[in-house]
């Protein structure tokens, strides 16, 4: 019964409801399979969490695994070449409402260490499909969620203007590990246990890069939104740093659908940690606001130091750059 996954799905749904979510089993959708035949796919649990003008959907795929199973991920860094930010897993969508998510970009806290590609290790060897299958279940549902958010914001289908968030989460009973930064093949060869080359984790934020097939699928889904609502109506409702609706949706199709996925171990307190972090983003405490001010001041000091060392005089361009850094 445990290996069926049903008890884990039930436990996850119950935890969401205890946190104040409206939760349901199985979110289903249609998409082409590997032979390009349209089939029904789904992820396991869908939970909606509403706080003021914030409408958060937790998209959760559950993976029950034998107690000896390990999931090992390569390390990633926040703010690196992939431009992964600490809160990218939230995927805020505020492009057709006057409200704005304020915590994009560098952030003084993290939900979990950043990672990228993962592999499942079992006693009989490795499985390179398990994690990828879980990711695909969530990734292909993402554009449909974005399309629904656009329709609600443009058509004003809710009582108030809301920001939509879509948080893809994989919950597993496998032990999670993140390889040390800079670990080499020779280090792994010499190790007797995974703990010698990786740190155990309970929560990770996995950077995700959209592949060609998913991008094409996203473009079709979001293109249908333009066709349904009308480009003129969408352009009129647009309230974003993007000046053009088609450009906005093209960027989302290629980069933000999704950009990051939370991977959590199904341990006691896992959902406490997740909801504590999310609640701070939706209703920031004075402590968090103080940390943000300190971070902004530090960035401004570093920028001024760089100006002094390079002999760059402050003008409208550099002032704009300083504002962007802060």
- Three-class secondary structure of residue 179 per DSSP: strand
- Three-class secondary structure of residue 322 per DSSP: helix
CA nearest neighbour of 149 among 54, 26, 70, 36: 54
- Residue 34, pLDDT score: 67
Q: State the pTM of this model.
A: 0.88
- Residue 321, pLDDT score: 47
Residue 42 CA to residue 172 CA, distance in Å, equals 17
- Residue 325, pLDDT score: 46
- Residue 313, pLDDT score: 55
Tens of pLDDT along the chain (326 residues) come to: 777 788 999 999 999 999 999 999 989 988 876 667 778 889 999 999 999 999 999 999 999 998 899 999 999 999 988 889 999 999 999 999 999 999 998 999 999 999 999 999 998 877 778 899 999 999 999 999 999 999 999 999 987 899 999 999 999 999 999 999 999 999 999 999 999 999 999 999 999 999 999 999 999 999 999 999 998 999 999 998 888 899 999 999 988 889 999 999 998 899 999 999 999 999 999 999 999 998 888 878 777 777 777 776 555 444 554 454 44
Are the C-beta atoms of 49 and 19 separated by less than 8 Å? Answer: yes
- Residue 312, pLDDT score: 62
Burial class (CB in 10 A: 0-12, 13-18, 19+), 127: middle
Residue 246 CA to residue 230 CA, distance in Å, equals 11
* Residue 314 per-residue DSSP state: P
Torsion sign across C-alpha atoms 17, 19, 22, 23: negative
């Amino acid at each position: 019964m445990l290996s069926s996954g049903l008890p884990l799905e039930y436990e996850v749904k119950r935890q969401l409801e205890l946190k104040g979510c409206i939760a349901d089993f199985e979110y289903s959708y249609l998409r082409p399979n590997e032979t390009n035949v349209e089939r029904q796919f789904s992820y396991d649990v869908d939970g909606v969490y509403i706080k003021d003008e914030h409408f958060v959907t937790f998209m959760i795929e559950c993976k029950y695994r034998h107690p000896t199973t390990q999931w090992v991920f390569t390390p990633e860094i926040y703010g690196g070449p992939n431009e992964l930010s600490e809160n990218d897993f939230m995927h805020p969508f505020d492009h057709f409402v006057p409200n704005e998510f304020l915590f994009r970009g560098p952030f003084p806290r993290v939900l979990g260490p950043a990672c990228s590609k993962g592999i499942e290790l079992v006693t009989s060897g490795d499985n390179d499909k398990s994690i990828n299958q879980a990711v695909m279940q969530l990734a292909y549902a993402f554009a449909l969620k974005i399309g629904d958010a656009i329709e609600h914001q443009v058509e004003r289908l809710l009582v108030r203007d809301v920001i939509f968030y879509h948080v893809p989460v994989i919950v597993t009973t496998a032990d999670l590990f993140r390889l040390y930064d800079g670990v080499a093949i020779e280090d792994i060869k010499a190790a007797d246990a995974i703990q010698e080359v990786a740190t155990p984790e309970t929560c990770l934020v996995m950077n995700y890069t959209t592949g060609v097939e998913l991008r094409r699928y996203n473009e079709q889904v979001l293109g249908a939104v333009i066709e349904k609502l009308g480009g003129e109506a969408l352009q009129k409702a647009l309230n974003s740093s993007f000046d053009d609706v088609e450009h906005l949706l093209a960027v989302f199709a290629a980069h933000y659908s999704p950009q990051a996925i939370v991977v959590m171990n199904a341990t006691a307190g896992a959902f406490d940690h997740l909801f504590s972090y999310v609640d701070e983003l939706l209703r920031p405490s004075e402590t968090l606001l103080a940390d943000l001010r300190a971070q902004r001041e530090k960035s401004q000091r570093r920028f001024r130091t760089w100006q002094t060392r390079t002999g760059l005089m402050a003008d409208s361009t550099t002032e704009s750059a300083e504002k962007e850094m802060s």
